[in-house]
Amino acid sequence: HGCKARPLILASCQISNMSSRGTKQKKGNVTNEQEEEDQPLQAVLIADSFNRRFFPISKDQPRALLPLANVAMIDYTLEFLTSTGVQETFVFCCWMSNKIKDHLLNSKWCRPTSPNVVHIITSDLYRSLGDVLRDVDAKTLVRNDFILVYGDVVSNIDVSQALQEHRHRRKVDKNISVMTMVFKESSPGHKSRCEEDDVIVAMDSKSKRVLHYQKTQGLKKLQFPMNIFQHGSDEFEIRHDLLDCHISICSPQVAELFTDNFDYQTRNDFVRGILVNEEILGNQIHLYVTNEGYGARVSNLQMYDSVSSDLVRRWVYPLTPEANFTDQRGQGCAHSRHNVYRGAGVSLGHGSQMEENVLIGRDTSIGANCHISNSIIGNYCTIGDNVVLDRAYIWNNVHISNKVKIHQSVVCDGVLVKEAVLLNKQCVLAYNVVIGPNMSLPEGTVVSMHHPEEEEDDDDDEFLSDDQVVGNSKDKTKQKAFNPAEVGSEGKGYIWKASLDEAEDEELAQCIWGLVLNPDPDSDSESEASDGSQDMGSRSVSPEMDDVKVFQLEVLGTLQRGEEENIGCDNLVLEINSLKYAYNITLKEVMQILTKVVLEYPFQQQGTKLSSSQYTVLLLPLLKKWSPVFKNYIKRAQDHLDCLSAVEELFLEQETHQTAMVKVLMNMYQLEILEEDAILKWFSAGATTDKSRQLRKNQGLQKFIQWLKEAEDESSEEGE
């Protein structure tokens, strides 16, 4: 993946001031713990979704600025952060960063009195959450635990409790816990649960540690690796009643881990990576489950629909439409019965009804005999007579003529809907489209001023410059004629079809309304689901043999290169780790293969006809050189035993060299790769076959064990 070296544009000037402070306190130890808690709470807000889910709407306006109940989404996120006590927020923008910047500079967040200092950092090079966090690490922006959110999270959860738990864990366990994810309880079937984010989580009930984390992706059968239940406490919970709020409390290490593992793109990668490598890196992820408050991410239009309706129904209190928390002049509205909100200067024609859950922005006029329910209408709209709106989301400056019917659809800014148009469910009219008159749009129609084909043309340069893209698209729209059959005789716009190129993407179907549009019928699930789950399971539990072999060859190659080019052990570890991901190898196998490769290394180089003494002469320097690599992987008692069994296996194969085994073990013991307890345990317990029993009768080995036992006795006597 292409990392272009280009300077990042820093939009904020205060950042350089703090970097010195950042490096100083990066490694927080016990003495400045108190100091850490006094430091302002920081947050990283990612004002980009890094996907095209909202295309074509987000072609003209970044997702973070789309209105949700007439307030830009990013304002909800900032209000959430501020009310939870965040005092410094870094907003990272990529797509249409200028618009976001302008919006923020004019908002209350950039006023001098704001309790939350907002820094805007823009770059065209961010392609994922991973890129942003790597940049956070490179600039050492965070000094302490921080909150990580997207710019489309709506929440009123008080995370201070979660933050406290997180800090406590870090204090007790010496920085083992790197992340605490905030989840909200809600039963399956809840409309605010995003189908794509549907997760199954296995966790330790006492410590709240995440043991297994898996997106269900509509599967009916799920498999859990057994090993997750074998250690830790004896109480586990497997939960499917959790809604991912996309709020995570991160330790500063999170940014470092993203830098170390350049293949992490999303938080999902990160969580999976941490859980799979838990033994190696010793990092853990915890969960905070709340049943109070509200938290959801607007990740597709389905979620847009449900979060909007939750806002109007006051689930996010005190973030209600009439609260005007953005403090903008004229934004206020009055709340009356049945959750009807009216902005200033709203006029309602004779015989019109606002049934329930209706929000109408300022200076909007509604004609006679209209029937409006469960809808949100923006500012400065004009709505004609005899209009029916149900679950319609109408943004600003929209003109709707007489006799229009709209059901569960989104109508963006500047749209003109002519007379007697019927919008069926899940239609989207993007910016400045004209539709009608006298026609009906079928379910799921998306109309945009952008021609669908232009997307591929500017695919490459769209990240480079906003202006360029806009210019391009304008030229092209002029060239192509509108199809009256699609948008009506006086209409303007093209039917938008989502390109299928990205179907392979992890983001599943790229449908703007999310998965719900095409739910899997229940009947087909059995066979498919089990296939899928096996697929998922095999990736984490038992990789296929081919992978193991290729991995072994790769490790060998890596070590050879390391030997030739004198590469440091740290880099070798890094490389082996990334190989491990590439081939999906479990930790145990990594260790066995590594041991095998190193011990076979002399044969590999000099041929198998070496004598035992020659072999040891060649091997011992290598062991010494690579001992840090071993130490990195061999930590717990089980690791030692696994390593020993790998050694045993090798020497069982190479029967002629069994005399060398003692020296290898001795050496590994002296290099502190293996502990004496482990060796003794292995010696006494491991013999299962005749051959290995034979192996243990080797005189040298017996003597070595004898010597170890005596050494242990002596040391214990001294201890007493």
Task: Note the residues at the interface with other proteins (CB under 8 A).
Answer: 14, 17-18, 21, 40, 82-83, 87, 111-115, 117, 156, 184-191, 241, 291-292, 294, 306, 313-318, 323-325, 332, 334-336, 338-339, 356-357
Task: Give the residue with the Cβ less far from other proteins, 336 or 534.
Answer: 336
114 or 477: whose CB is closer to other proteins?
Answer: 114
- H or E element at residue 203: strand 199-204
Looking at the Cβ atoms of 317 and 707, the one nearer to other proteins is 317
Q: How far is the CB of 334 from other proteins (least distance, A)?
A: 4
Distance (Å, whole) CA 212 – CA 200: 8
Nearer to other proteins, 243 or 708 (CB): 243
CB 425 to other proteins: min, Å: 15
Report the C-alpha gap between 101 and 234 in whole angstroms: 50
Q: Are 598 and 631 in contact (CB under 8 A)?
A: no
Residue 512 corresponds to which tokens in the numbers above? Answer: 């703007």
The SS3 assignment for 371 reads strand
| Closer residue to other proteins (CB): 3 or 238 | 238
Contact 299, 57 (CB under 8 A): no
Given the complex with other proteins, which of 78 and 285 has the nearer CB atom?
A: 78
- What is the CA angle 57-60-61, rounded to 5? 80
Considering the complex, what minimum distance in angstroms separates the CB of residue 647 from other proteins?
Answer: 53
Chain centre to alpha carbon of residue 661: 47
Output 39 or 227, the one with its CB closest to other proteins.
Answer: 39
The residue type of 70 is N
Instruction: Report the nearest approach of other proteins to the CB of residue 602 (Å).
Output: 58
Separation of CA 16 from chain center: 28
Residue entry with tokens 């490769």:
597
Smallest gap from Cβ 567 to other proteins, in A, equals: 41
* Nearer of residues 14 and 164 to other proteins, judged by Cβ: 14
DSSP tag of 56: T
Nearest distance in Å: CB 186, other proteins:
5
Q: CA–CA distance from 336 to each of 31, 120, 358, 671 (Å)?
A: 55, 38, 10, 76
Interacting residues of 267 by C-beta distance below 8 A, sequence separation 6+: 129, 148, 246, 248
Provide the token pair at 161: 């409790």
d(CA 215, CA 708) in angstroms, rounded, equals 49
Q: How far is CA 175 from CA 207, 229, 313, 476, in A?
A: 15, 23, 41, 55
Q: By C-beta, is 312 or 662 nearer to other proteins?
A: 312
Least spacing, CB of residue 307 vs other proteins, in Å: 13
Least Å distance, CB 20 to other proteins, is 9
Q: Which is nearer to other proteins, 139 or 657 (CB)?
A: 139
Please state the closest distance from residue 175 (CB atom) to other proteins, in A. 25
Q: How far is CA 585 from the centre of its chain?
A: 22
Nearest approach, Cβ of residue 296 and other proteins (Å) = 10
Query: Roughly what angle, to the nearest 10 degrees, separates helices 569-583 and 587-606?
Result: 120
Tokens of 241: 């009643």
